[in-house]
Amino acid sequence: MHPFAAMSDFTYQFTSQIIKLVYWQGTLLGAENLPTQGPAVFVANHLGAAGPIGVVCTLPLRFHPWIIADMINRAKAAEYLQMDFVEPTLKIKPPLSQLVARAIAAIAVPLLISLGCIPVTRGHTQELELSLQALIEGKYVLIFPEAPELDLDEASQMRPFLKGFTRLAEMYHAETGESLRFYPVAVHGSRRVLLGAPLTINPSAHTAAERLRLLHQLENKIREMYLGLDS
């Protein structure tokens, strides 16, 4: 099955609205920055489980999110959910957390696969190739690039960004000759989601320094947006 055609746009929006009703009643700020057509990359802070859920439920766009590969692996998803969501977010302790995680995984794994999520495995580049394919087709890719092993900044609730995703800018330009838009998104614990204006890379200076410039611009902008929502 084609990785980006498993679920219709209508079904995707219907599913996101169900999740919104059950778990996330959020507010979108910066709606004037919404693109009228793709492709584009949306980059957001993770904020635990709130980031992915908040963006998908609040922005009225069809996304193909990057997701840890374990989350679409039937053998590993329950353990990952237990450690990353059930215990820290739902505050459920073992052994009940194991049972809850297994129940969620039974529903989540086939759902995430059908959503057209892009699996990410550290040390591999499959996510870049799949993302490039989606972008060439005019789709929206959603990325949460925080490095989980690095220290959390308490003020912004963010960790430093990994830089690998910025390669999409030059990969897309090499294929199409066009600049790729990167939209910063800040998800706040108050259930507000702020969408910023898009940033682009200089197509005539596709160097490591230019990729780092884009990375730091996105990271700093999202932090600034998050702190602005604090006030």
**Cβ proximity of 187 and 229 under 8 Å:** no
pLDDT band for 1, please (50, 70, 90 cuts): very low
Specify the higher pLDDT residue, 5 or 58.
Answer: 58
What does the mean pLDDT of the chain come to?
Answer: 88
Q: Average the pLDDT over each of 8-17, 21-30, 32-41, 211-220 and give the range with the smallest value.
A: 8-17
pLDDT recorded at residue 6: 57
pLDDT band for 10, please (50, 70, 90 cuts): low
pLDDT recorded at residue 230: 87
Residues 6 or more apart from 218 whose CB is under 8 A from it?
43, 161, 182, 184, 199
Sign of CA dihedral 195, 197, 203, 209: negative
Nearest to 181 by CA among 216, 138, 117, 125: 138
Q: How many CB atoms lie within 10 A of CB 130?
A: 20
Sign of CA dihedral 168, 171, 173, 177: negative
pLDDT above 90 (res 184): yes
The alpha-helical segments, DSSP class H, found in the chain are 9-22, 50-58, 77-81, 96-114, 126-136, 167-176, 208-230
Q: How far apart are CA 50 and CA 157, in angstroms?
A: 12
| Residue whose tokens read 């999520």 | 117
pLDDT recorded at residue 20: 67
Q: How far apart are CA 92 and CA 40, in angstroms?
A: 37
* Residues 106-140: tens digit of each pLDDT: 888 877 777 788 989 877 788 999 999 999 999 99
SS (H, E, C) 22-84: HCCCCEEECHHHCCCCCCEEEEECCCCCHHHHHHHHHCCCCEEEEEEHHHHCCCCHHHHHHHH
Burial (0-12, 13-18, 19+ Cβ within 10 Å), 35: middle
Q: Is the pTM of this model over 0.75?
A: yes
Nearest to 167 by CA among 120, 134, 207: 207
Q: Average the pLDDT over each of 12-16, 96-100, 192-196 and give the range with the smallest value.
A: 12-16
Q: How far apart are CA 198 and CA 40, in angstroms?
A: 9
Specify the higher pLDDT residue, 224 or 116.
Answer: 224
pLDDT recorded at residue 21: 67
pLDDT above 70 (res 5): no
Q: How far apart are CA 170 and CA 210, in angstroms?
A: 10
